[in-house]
Amino acid sequence: MGKQHQKGPFYYNRRQTDDHAITAKCPLVEITTSHFTVVAKSTHTFFDGNQAIFFLETASDTSTFHYRDKAPHSLFEEDMSSLSVLNPKAELARNAAALEMNISGARGLQEVMKTNLGPKGTLKMLVSGSGDLKLTKDGNILLHEMQIQHPTASMIARACTAQNDATGDGTTSTVLLIGELLKQAENYVSEGVHPRLITEGFEIAYKKILELLDTFKRTSAVDRDLLVEVARTSLHTKLHPKLADHITECVVDAVLAIRKDGNDKEPDLHMIEIMKMEHESETDTKLIRGLVLDHGGRHPDMPKDLENAYILIGNVSLEFEKTEVNSGLFYKTAAERERLLQAEREFITRRVLKIVELKKQVCGEDKSKGFVVINQKGIDPPSLDILAKHGILGIRRAKRRNMERLTLACGGEAVNSVDDLTPEVLGWAGKVYEHVLGEDKYTFIEDCKNPKSVTLLIKGPNKYTIEQINDAIYDGIRSVFNVLKDEAVVPGAGAFEIAAFCHLQNVAKTVKGRAKLGVEAFGKAFLVIPKTLATNAGFDAQEAIVKLIETYEENSTANQAVGLDIQSGEPCDPKGIWDNVSVKRCSIEACYNIASHLLEVDEEPHVWLSRLSFGFPISKAGFDAHYGPCGQSTHKEHSPGETLTWGNVMDRNLPHLASIRTVPTILANQ
């Protein structure tokens, strides 16, 4: 067989034994083997045969030659050529490959997260690059801290953490539902059902589920008992039962305390200060009906323990400060200099003496009363001496965020000037004392009258326990807040998911066409929640699901909720176990939108911008030959999925490759 001259893709069948050569005009690279010689011009030339495929790339004076024993992968088909013009290092996954990539990412994230679900869920230990440890079972913390590389899994993680920012909970359940929706859809897609039909069924099911949620929720008077049950349900999934029961009361009382009136549905949660103290046991965590400041008095002679204390909250400078306008004072003698310094000192002293006069006005000679100055700006040592001499506790440089909290907790007003001070600007606290822990000082302001700002003091023997409690308290506070806002709750323990499955099975019977398959898949996906609860509790998931469905169908006429008892594995009435309506609604919306969008993806271009990567990620095993700068030949047999780079291809020769000649070039970073 002689030489052939043709344009476009070139084909070579390795079964042929005759030597031949295929050439193109204006050659840039010539490759010679024991069977053929190729001279190519185009940016991408494909060689396709029954048993071998050859890929030739000549872009920017750089060429790559691939030799394969198997049929070409989808990345190397003609559809790749248009994308390669834009970026020669790009990859393209289409149709089934794209769907498989999305499903594998969602399923992988699901496998990591599912063991955390429920009160019987396990903890994860996160280890940072510097060796720091963190123990948690909070889905939001895991998704924030884990280094997720898969693009689909990363997108799901960001969506779920956004839900946590909006509602405070539901991240783990959302991840499980998304993974299960894609798993159920994969079963139908693999049988030839078009993903668009599945998403149409998802849309029908999504609307029906939201209607079910509105009828399944329980609306009742929001009282303290209901809030305690909701907070306990949330905290039991994050902490061990004894500690969860203890913290539940603190969380509920904290949220109720900051409500401005009995009808306040959205209290400002920033008015709950969370203070951490590595001291004593975690069961010593408590609610302070006031504030805890992380600093104390700055003078050794100041009082450390005060009762019936009047509190002056100010943003007044009690130290000498440079003026904003540049100015100078000139003196001729030392006496003049002394008079200037004395005048500056008297300016600050007059401010301090006005505070002392106010203290005498409200306290008089009564030693049972105390006086405290909490200042956002500084207090210099001479001013501290004056305050200490008159029995006043002075705290300087208080945090800005605590200024509003102090006025809400103690009453009074924050002043910016000491002129015309009156007793009406003072706050009051029943007890103010200083607590020293190692080198740290804490000032406790307690027994305030009707405080609208409180502090949750977290104690624990180590920082790991403290961080775990802190994350749990955040979720507990948000769960109570959601109940006040929604004025309704949803039965928990998997009860809503069982009801959703049974409801969608009935809906599917009324849907015509293959869209009913999407409705069925949507319903089956909800079973992942009770299944995971049963598995994490040590029971057989299938047996538990069968019992739950049978019990629900027997009581469906009475709209009876049926949940899983994680202590026995039997169906039960989930009385006292409540979930948030807003969390369920947000989770359903996120699952529907993300799963539907991922199913509709049919192309995933991946652009590789590795600065030193000369190769191309391959999904099938084979042989690759790379030649690059200065005509140097490099060959290596590689494994599936491996990216060949200039540093890892300097190995043995490729079979049948006799010689490679190329224009000497330096490969530029792309």
Residues designated catalytic: 138, 171-172, 475
Helix intervals (H) in 600-650 = none
Residue type present at position 20: H
Is residue 33 within 8 Å of 656, Cβ to Cβ? yes
Shortest CA distance to 45 belongs to which of 19, 69, 72, 18?
Answer: 72
> From CA 525, how far away is CA 508, in angstroms rounded?
14
What's the rounded Cα separation, in Å, for the pair 7 and 320? 86
Show the CA angle centred on residue 410, arms to residues 408 and 416, nearest 5°: 75
Of 49, 90, 88, nearest to 68 by C-alpha is 49
Question: Is there a contact between 301 and 460 (Cβ–Cβ < 8 Å)?
Answer: no
Burial pattern 259-269, b for ≥16 Cβ within 10 A else e, equals beeeeeeebee
CA distance 557 to 555: 6
Closest CA to 318 of 370, 386, 372: 386
- The span from the CA of 70 to the CA of 616, in Å, is 17
Q: How far is CA 620 from CA 47, 70, 105, 344, in A?
A: 17, 8, 20, 82
Only one residue has tokens 């030959």, namely 625
Please name the helix (run of DSSP H) or strand (run of DSSP E) that holds residue 135, with its range, or none.
strand 133-136
The 3-state DSSP class for residue 270 equals helix
Maximum alpha-carbon separation in the chain: 119
Q: Where are the beta strands (DSSP E) in 216-285?
A: 272-277
- Alpha helices, H only, 334-427: 334-363, 381-389, 400-410
- Cβ atoms 129, 542 nearer than 8 A: no
The closest of 592, 539, 475 to 200, measured between CA atoms, is 592
Of the candidates 559, 531, 525, the residue with the CA atom closest to the CA atom of residue 545: 531
C-alpha 260/C-alpha 270 separation (Å) is 13
